[in-house]
């Protein structure tokens, strides 16, 4: 996974309001397993901005 890849969420993270199927963009790669991801709604409003591990993400949406 690399910076600016579009990713799909593979599992819920209810504490942060993230659900399976949402899409986001990798903004920063911290290491092979941790990524800064932004998830926005259809109007471009940020719903989530934070670090997620690789097991939450799927590339190639």
The pLDDT tens digits of the residues spanning 25-60 come to 999 999 999 999 999 999 999 999 999 999 999 997
User: In terms of CATH architecture, what is 6-59?
Assistant: Roll (2.30)
- Residue 14's pLDDT band, with cuts at 50, 70 and 90, is confident
- The per-residue pLDDT for 38 is 98
43 token code pair: 């109007």
The answer to whether 26 touches 2, Cβ cutoff 8 Å, is yes
The answer to whether 21 touches 7, Cβ cutoff 8 Å, is no
Alpha carbon dihedral 10, 40, 52, 49, in 10-degree steps, equals -160
55 token code pair: 């097991």
Domain ranges within the chain, ordered by starting residue: 6-59
- The per-residue pLDDT for 61 is 66
- The per-residue pLDDT for 20 is 95
Instruction: Give the number of other CB atoms < 10 A from CB of residue 35.
Output: 25
57 forms bridges with which residues in the sheet?
9
- The per-residue pLDDT for 59 is 93
């Amino acid at each position: 996974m690399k910076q600016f890849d579009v990713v799909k969420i593979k599992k819920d993270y209810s504490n942060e309001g993230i659900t399976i199927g949402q899409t986001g963009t990798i903004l920063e790669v911290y290491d092979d397993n941790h990524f800064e991801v932004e998830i926005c709604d259809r109007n471009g409003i940020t719903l989530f901005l934070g670090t997620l591990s690789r097991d939450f993400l799927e590339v190639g949406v």
